[in-house]
Structure formats: C-alpha cells, structure tokens
Amino acid sequence: MKKVMMGNHAISHGATLARVQVIAAYPITPQTQVVELLSEIVADGKLKAEYIKVESEHSAMAACIGASSAGARAFTATSSQGLALMHELLHWAAGARLPIVMADINRAMGPPWNIWTDQNDSLSQRDTGWMQFYCQSNQEVLDSVIMAYKVTEKVLMPAMIVLDAFSLSHTYEIVDLPDQAVVDKYLPPFDFKYKLNVNDPHTYGGLTTPEWYMEFRVKMQEAMEQALVEIKKEAVEFEKAFGRRYDPVEPYMVDDADIVLVTSGTAASTARFAVDQMRKKGKKVGNLRMRLLRPFPFADVREHLKNAKKVIVVDRNISYGYHGIWAQEVKSALYGHSKVPVFNFIAGLGGRDIFPETFVDIVNKVKKLKKPDQELYWVEVKQ
C-alpha cells in the first residue's frame, strides 16, 4: 500500500512492521514524530509492544539493553544531544552483543543550539560497535529498519538507521508500506539464544580480566565482518521479498566518470541531480553514495572508485583538527590500492542547504586542481 508520509513516520511504520516488542524513547526535536506515532500505534493495540516513556535518552538505551537481554526485540529513536547522552550505553549495547535497532535523526550538536541536520552526532559514535546505515529516502528508512533487525539478530550487533533532520525526517514522500505477511515471512520472530533465563541462569557482562577481555573484542570484530557479508546477502533477499535493493554503497554513473562525488544521506540525491546536469554538458562526473559506515565496505569503495581520476568527498560533518569523517574513511580504503587524489569539501553543517549548484561549483574548482592543495575546502562560508 502506497502512502505519503514523513521520514519520521516511515521509521514508526518500519518498527511496527518489524513487530518490535519493547520501545523505550525520550523526545527530542527532530525525532518526536517517530515516538508520537509509535505511542499511538501501541496504545491503539495495533502493535503488541511495551512502551516505556523514559526520563532520558540514557535510560532509553538502558531499557533497550535490559529488554533485549531478556529476549525482546527492542527499539528506540533519538537525535543529536540525545545520541551523545547515550554514548556510554552504545558501547554497552554492542559489547553485550544485543541486536537493538535505533533510528538517529542527524542533527547538529550544540553549542550553539541548532536543530537542523549534520552528521557529527552519529559519526561521533563511529567506534561504538554499531552498524550505521545512512538513508536518502523515506522508503529506504522504512525498509532499513526491517532489514536491520534481520542482520542484527543474525550477528548480534546493534544497528543505527540514520537520516537527515528535516530534509528527510520532515519531508513527505511516497512510501510503499509492505504487507505485514511479507514482512513476517522475511523477518522471523526474535529468538535469542543468550537471553536472561531463570531456568538456565547466567551472568552477562561481569568483570573480565586481561586474560579474556581481548577475546570478547575479537568476536565483536568478527561479528561486524560477518555483518558485511549478511548485509550484502540481505540486499538480495530483501529485493526478492520487496522488490527494492539496498547495497552498502550506491554507485551512480561512476564507471566512466573522471570525477566521482562521494556523498551520504540526502545530499546524495542532490548530487545525482547535479551529476545529471553536468553530464548533459559533457562532464564525466559520477556519484558514489555511502549507505554503510560500519561495517565499512572497503572492497565496494575501492571497486567503484577504481576508474576515477579524482575523488571528491563532500562531508556534512567535521573532525576538528582533521577533516571530514567520510573523507577519512574513503582515503583509508583507497590507501595502498589507488593513487587517485581525494579532495575533501565540508558543506551543509547545521542544516545549511546543499544545492545542485554547490556540487557544480565544487566540481569546477576541483577541475582546476591536479591534487588537493589544502586538507579540506569549506563550501560557501561567510568570511
């Protein structure tokens, strides 16, 4: 059934279709519609779930950790400061190997206060052990929630569905709501082998000495490597079930492109529009959309950038004293495999619009350069 809905409601419907059993959430702009709609759906009895209206994001994640440990499919959604407040427990959820799925609406971190989009909130959680899926459409948001549970419950690592504040969260698009029966067939109920069980009592997360701690960490890395295999497998399985495909990266006209713009989130669709315009003028430009941050799709990035003469990473984020975070990831993937110069542009922080012309200007600037003469280039900033 096709419906017009905002990105936030696509999350709520995704969680509902995934039959989440425990929701614990705390409101923050621009996430509120996610939890508002879910609270209504649960209260109406349309989803058989327990909803804990917690007093903070920290407690939201704590409750999800408790619920998941006890064997329930747990869900939450947050943004920005809320995600930062959860930080400690993001490590805990991953270390405890719990298949929690959470939506994060990318919102800039304060101060100064700002409710609009950029990626510093989620990218700051890069090393917590969460899978991160960056979406560019409301359909992808809904589908990703369902697909994420499939993957997380196989490898027992948590996953974050990430979408831009307002430019996706509050933007209305046509979304195909899959039939519950099809979702149920694709995503079986959560059956947690390691759940808290009074008939087989175990202690989880207890004091572990240097003799064993590292082995736990090896297993997390192995689980994330396996997650990449599962994500690729699910791209196929999901397409079979629902007719839509989501790969770790999405190439657009990259094969013959001299210049490839690497983007993530909604900036990717803008970049493609710009690519189309530039192609009409004979410029060989392509776009590589990064969907997956962790596990990082090294091989896909190398494959799709192998023909490029120049790579431009446009980051809606910054690691202060370094440069954009996606640029760091892409450079790391290419190092030792390719000599292609990587140019890094920082754009759209705090919700400043990124227009098609922005990409055209970036490409025109890069065309004049043989290699980067700066570590990063700011886009459209006031002097």
Partner 1 sequence: MKPTLPLEELMSPGHLACQGCGAGIAMRVSLKALGRDTMFTFPACCWTVIDGPFPYSCLEVPLLHMAFEATAATAAGIKAAMNALGKDKTTICGWAGDGGTFDIGLQALSGAAERNDDIFYFCYDNEAYMNTGIQRSGATPYGAWTTTTPVKHFKKELKKSIDDIVAAHKVPYQATASVAYPEDLYKKLVKAKDIRGFKFIHIIAPCPPGWKARPEDTVKLARLAVQTGIFPVYEVDGGKYVQTMKTPTRKPVLDYLKLQGRFKHLKENEVADIQKMVDTRYAELEKRFQG
For partner 1, the binding residues (CB under 8 A) are 21-22, 24, 48-50, 52-56, 58-60, 62-72, 74, 88-89, 92, 96, 196-198, 201-209, 212
- Three-point CA angle 54, 26, 45, nearest 5°: 75
Q: What distance in Å separates the CA atoms of residue 238 and residue 149, rounded to the nearest whole number?
A: 12
- The H or E element containing residue 149 is helix 138-155
Least distance CB 282 / partner 1 (angstroms): 57
Q: Of the two residues 66 and 372, which places its CB atom closer to partner 1 in the complex?
A: 66
Is the previous residue joined to 372 through a cis bond, with omega within 30 degrees of 0? Answer: no
Shortest distance in whole angstroms from residue 197 CB to partner 1: 6
Tell me the C-alpha to C-alpha distance, in Å, between residue 354 and each of 275, 314, 358: 14, 10, 6
**Distance of closest approach, residue 204 Cβ to partner 1, in angstroms:** 5
If you compute the radius of gyration of the chain from its CA atoms, what whole number of angstroms results? Answer: 21
The phi and psi torsions of 92 (rounded to 5 degrees) equal -65, -45
Report how far residue 168's alpha carbon sits from residue 56's, in angstroms, rounded to the nearest whole number.
24
As measured in angstroms, the least distance from the Cβ of 375 to partner 1 is: 37
Residue among 86 and 162 whose Cβ is closer to partner 1: 86
Are the C-beta atoms of residues 102 and 75 closer than 8 Å to each other?
Answer: yes
Least Cβ distance, residue 71 to partner 1 (angstroms)? 6
* Closer CB to partner 1, 56 or 332, in the complex: 56
Q: Which of 161, 166, 83, 135 is nearest to 350 (CA)?
A: 166
* Least gap, CB of 87 to partner 1 (angstroms): 11
Both tokens of residue 246?
């989501």
Nearest to 57 by CA among 34, 37, 70, 71: 34
Residues 140/10, Cβ–Cβ less than 8 Å: no
- Smallest distance, Å, CB 200 to partner 1? 8
91 or 244: CB nearest partner 1: 91
Q: Indicate the residue among 209 and 383 with the shorter CB distance to partner 1.
A: 209
244 neighbors 139 (Cβ within 8 angstroms): yes
Nearer to partner 1 by Cβ, of 208 and 332: the residue is 208
* Residue closer to partner 1 (CB basis): 15 or 292: 15
Please identify, using beta-carbon distances, which residue of 181 and 198 lies nearer to partner 1. 198
Report residue 171 as tokens: 């933007």
Least Å from the CB of residue 47 to partner 1: 11
CA distance 194 to 185: 23
Give which of 84, 265, 258, 57 is closest to 168, Cα–Cα: 265
Minimal distance, residue 229 CB to partner 1, in Å: 29
CB of 278 to partner 1, least distance (A): 50
Nearer to partner 1, 110 or 205 (CB): 205
Return the number of the residue (54 or 334) whose C-beta is nearest partner 1.
Answer: 54
Determine contact, residues 84/56, Cβ cutoff 8 Å: no
Q: What are the structure tokens assigned to 341, written together?
A: 């110069």
Task: List the one residue out of 285, 264, 282 whose CA is nearest residue 274.
Answer: 285
